[in-house]
Structure 1
Amino acid sequence: MVMRKDIRQIRPYVYEVARNFRHDMRVPARFYADELILQQALNDDCLDQLINTATLPGIVGYALAMPDIHQGYGFPIGGVVATAGADGVISPGGVGFDINCGVRLLASHLDRQSVQPYLSALATELYKQVPSGAGEKGFVSLSVKELDEVLAQGSRWALKKGFARADDLENTEERGMMAGADPAHCSARAKERGKSQLGTLGSGNHFAEVDEVAEIYDDEAAQAMGLFPGQIVVMIHCGSRGFGHQVCTDYVDMFQKVIHKYGIHLPDRQLVCAPLQSPEGQAYYAAMSCAANFAFANRQLLAHQVRQAFRTVLAGKVKNFDLFQVYDITHNMAKIEMHDVDGQRLQVCVHRKGATRAFGPGADVLPRDYQDIGQPVLVPGSMGTASYVLVGTAGSMAQTFGSSCHGAGRVMSRSAAKRLVQGGELRGHLQAQGIEVRAGSLAGLAEEAPSAYKDVDHVVDVVHNAGIARRVARLVPVAVVKG
């Protein structure tokens, strides 16, 4: 077990456990923190999990973690690992069960003052239009054939069906579609779980939230994104629902059966993996890409429903109630990318689990409007606290395989939060702050209490000061919809 004495600070906000800490480590384990976040990380097994990831075959550079690090399945949440070469592996645990869990930011042309008289009605309509909760079904009914089209095409399917705009896809990571998706590699069980859930929010830490832009830090980047002080925006946080969970479950089970075929020995069976170029590795990548496309389409349908809610409540009352898309990012994915490693340009498989891509200015995968500023990075806070819009930097490309944090990061388990927090009291507290709350479960509300998470302002300070993302805007909630 790693202890404080085993960790050295190599520069401000960057800590490292040396490669020689354990005989099976192939690279050092490096993470972004300050002393407070470091102490929080020592309270669970997340740093030991990070060290375990440093043993993966083909890993290059460092095993990395962001300041929102906390314990996960195999990999820590906030973990970033790049593998390369003939023995480079892909690990379902390095992506997570909610494949392409991500965040979409929509922005209005309205300010808080113009929306305030209708805020309660808007919160109620959003709760009506955005299906939320563990077992909820979406408004689109899909046959298995139609679901296969979603899995192959992602947001492009939504565009063809009238649920998306061309600008939505332009301002979505991967333009809303992972290439290489093949529905033939997804089980019938996964498809059965997914076919009724498209266009649903789910439960847990997923939400739809109306926010006000409280502060702008970078005028140039904010202008490129269409953000201004006092503006009303909407943040949607969800993923691939039961479909993605089943894909992960299926391939964890498969890899457990074949790992010895490739002579792979691991310190934790939850790290189970296969060589990326193996038949099993390629099958998982194709299925994971399907789940990613499901999630892109899912958030796209939710964006369509949010627009419907704004139209229903605000039409005839305010001018220009339309919502445009700022960006949509993913934070549970493995991607094939080119990066500089030890002076060489390498093709690597970058696992980001609870971490977001944060490419700097000039990256050819970015939308035209963001080429000069870098990729928007959307960082939701815990319920009732601030969220942030950042941009990727040249520093993230040099230090973290173009990656940054994805949120605040838990410091308390869901079960512990439910023991310590009363959902009704929390709702009352949020409403006393002027935040409209619509939730299907008080217990679900309690497990997402702000006290269960790190201070998002603190987490963002670390990534900003470490140079792996730059602050653009701070958002504060005015209405929250939860499952």
Structure 2
Amino acid sequence: MLEGINQIGDLEWEVPVGYVPNMRVPGRFFLSRALAETLEEGAVRQLANVATLPGIVKHSLAMPDIHWGYGFPIGGVAAFDMTEGVISPGGVGFDINCGVRLITTPLTETDLAGRKRDLIERLFAAVPTGVGAKSTLRVSNKELADIMVSGARWAVERGLGTGADLIRCEEEGAMPGADPGAVSAKARQRGLPQLGTLGAGNHFLEVQVVREIIDPEAAKVYGITEGQVCFMVHCGSRGLGHQVATDHLRLLERALGKYGILLPDRQLACAPIDSPEGRAYYGGMVCAANYAWTNRQVIMHEARKVFAQMYGIDYDEMRLIYDVAHNVAKFERHDVDGASMEVCVHRKGATRAFGPNAPGIPHEYAAVGQPVIIPGSMGTSSYLLHGTTIAMQKTWGSTCHGAGRVLSRSQAKKEVRGKELREQLAKEGILVRASHDSVLAEEAPEVYKPSHEVVRVVHEAGLSGIVARLDPLGVIKG
């Protein structure tokens, strides 16, 4: 799969201009030889296709969890000039602001002894899961419009969290630039009943234990200790975000001729950033991103209540370390050839990893950089890392977002039996609760690249530094 690709570092590869016609810049990706065995030719071609888009700056990039996606490869990162560049839903994904948050508790693994199954059942009852899951939280159309603008602050103002939660969210839980007028009635209708729900696919609520501290200094800053029980929430903007992406893809496909944009793949449908179509997509995307931050805030609140009721711990003792998005386009300032430049950074299955003293990260974390959260795959470890200066220089402050699939969901269901997997995980001390066993087959650990190897690559490439390793104790799947 590496034919025609040049290795330019131990873990860094370049796809030269000319790999596909009309490339404006080279492609770059980060991968170990072990992971190269899983590299899909289609994903490399998608990476090269992104390099043909107008206004792309420096490189088309991909992280070590690279795999085939819609338009951009998953794990893809690209920045575009604000004047000549474009914005593309294929560079964000359908689940806008799918993201992860990590929360600590004062409990240890021994505190869960004999009550872990009860805890998992109570969490499963508290957080609606599965395709089309509906929330017990009822919001009006007016409240939904407020959520799309205010994001997680809407929830905190209603007692579903604390002010400190907002400080420890990327963008403090709400991006500016929301345009509720760019969100269709169908998208709103889909979003109204789903606030505070996990959904399906690879989304989860996982109870974990901090098994190992690798960077004690950063761990102290982040407030995480070995043996501590934590929980992690992974989900996004549900049906609202999916519909926003679907609606605007149609509009952008129709606008390609208007702007004379020729594409190697119509899944890269796009428009100039400052065009009416580009502005409308961005405004709708921000609405969906803000909805997603609110969604994770509500789920975290419900999980905190379960822990508080079961173990008699204070709500405030369950501290949000951070919340990071991994499907979003954002306007950011970066250094380009020695000059500060505003660009539109697309991260599609990639996580922001801003380094020490970078703008936009909590003051309390400035010395070590932004927390980065890379989840495992149900039976494998998750990792807390920190952003780096190297990431700021090489990848627009970006790193990988997870392990990356190697089997499709349909392939997984043919090769893995959910019931057997659940029983095997239980023998390993990992309790799993899902709406049905076929969900487990789709998300089995062997369906993904090894999380430890993906994380090793970004650590050794300097894109993020490992702080702690967390192992699963119990998992709720959509």
| TM category, shorter | over 0.9
Q: Which residue of 1 aligns with 2:306?
A: 309
Q: 3-state SS of the aligned residue for 1:113?
A: helix
Q: Which residue of 2 aligns with 1:381?
A: 376
- Aligned to 2:399, which of 389, 401, 404? 404
Question: By how many angstroms is 1:37 displaced?
Answer: 1.6
- 1:29 to 1:319, Cα distance in 2 relative to 1, 3 A: closer
Question: By how many angstroms is 1:12 displaced?
Answer: 1.4
Contact kept, 8 Å, 2:209 with 2:471, in 1: the verdict is: yes
Identity %: 52
Question: By how many angstroms is 1:322 displaced?
Answer: 3.5
- Aligned to 1:272, which of 269, 272, 277? 269
Q: Which residue of 1 aligns with 2:181?
A: 184
The code of the aligned residue for 2:39 comes to: A
Q: Are 1:455 and 2:457 counterparts?
A: no
Q: 3-state SS of the aligned residue for 1:228?
A: coil
Q: Are 1:362 and 2:362 counterparts?
A: no
Q: Which residue of 2 aligns with 1:28?
A: 26
Contact kept, 8 Å, 1:109 with 1:320, in 2: the verdict is: no
Question: By how many angstroms is 1:366 displaced?
Answer: 0.7
Q: Which residue of 1 aligns with 2:321?
A: 326
Question: By how many angstroms is 1:5 displaced?
Answer: 2.4
Measured in 2, the distance between the counterparts of 1:194 and 1:319 equals 31
Q: 3-state SS of the aligned residue for 1:142?
A: coil
- Residue segments in structure 1 that go unaligned for 5+ positions in a row: none
Q: Which residue of 1 aligns with 2:52?
A: 55
- Aligned to 1:353, which of 348, 351, 354? 348
Q: Are 1:96 and 2:72 counterparts?
A: no
- 1:431 to 1:77, Cα distance in 2 relative to 1, 3 A: same
Measured in 1, the distance between the counterparts of 2:111 and 2:2 equals 52
Q: Are 1:199 and 2:196 counterparts?
A: yes
Give the TM-score, by structure 2 length: 0.98
Q: Are 1:76 and 2:73 counterparts?
A: yes
Measured in 1, the distance between the counterparts of 2:18 and 2:201 equals 38
Q: Are 1:120 and 2:117 counterparts?
A: yes
Q: 3-state SS of the aligned residue for 2:114?
A: helix
- Aligned to 1:390, which of 385, 388, 394? 385
Measured in 2, the distance between the counterparts of 1:386 and 1:116 equals 20
Contact kept, 8 Å, 2:20 with 2:45, in 1: the verdict is: no
- Residue segments in structure 2 that go unaligned for 5+ positions in a row: none
- Aligned to 2:283, which of 281, 286, 303? 286
The code of the aligned residue for 1:301 comes to: V
Q: Are 1:107 and 2:104 counterparts?
A: yes
Q: Which residue of 2 aligns with 1:11?
A: 9
Larger CA deviation: 45-54 vs 113-122: 113-122
Q: 3-state SS of the aligned residue for 2:166?
A: helix
Measured in 2, the distance between the counterparts of 1:119 and 1:226 equals 24
Q: Which residue of 2 aligns with 1:415?
A: 410
The code of the aligned residue for 1:331 comes to: H
Question: By how many angstroms is 1:429 displaced?
Answer: 0.5
The code of the aligned residue for 2:27 comes to: A
The Cα offsets for residues 311-349 of structure 1, whole Å up to 9 and x where unpaired, read as 22212xx78894110100000000000111233321100
Q: 3-state SS of the aligned residue for 2:225?
A: coil
The Cα offsets for residues 225-278 of structure 1, whole Å up to 9 and x where unpaired, read as 111111000000000000000000000000011111001000000000000000
Contact kept, 8 Å, 1:108 with 1:321, in 2: the verdict is: no
Q: 3-state SS of the aligned residue for 1:66?
A: strand
Q: 3-state SS of the aligned residue for 2:274?
A: coil
The code of the aligned residue for 2:347 comes to: R
Give the TM-score, by structure 1 length: 0.97
Q: Are 1:170 and 2:167 counterparts?
A: yes
Q: 3-state SS of the aligned residue for 1:20?
A: coil
Question: By how many angstroms is 1:364 displaced?
Answer: 2.1
Contact kept, 8 Å, 2:353 with 2:386, in 1: the verdict is: yes
Q: Are 1:465 and 2:460 counterparts?
A: yes
Q: 3-state SS of the aligned residue for 1:478?
A: strand
Q: 3-state SS of the aligned residue for 1:21?
A: coil
Q: Are 1:441 and 2:441 counterparts?
A: no
Alignment of 1:148-163 (within 5 A): 148-163=145-160
- 1:94 to 1:84, Cα distance in 2 relative to 1, 3 A: same
Measured in 1, the distance between the counterparts of 2:336 and 2:219 equals 32
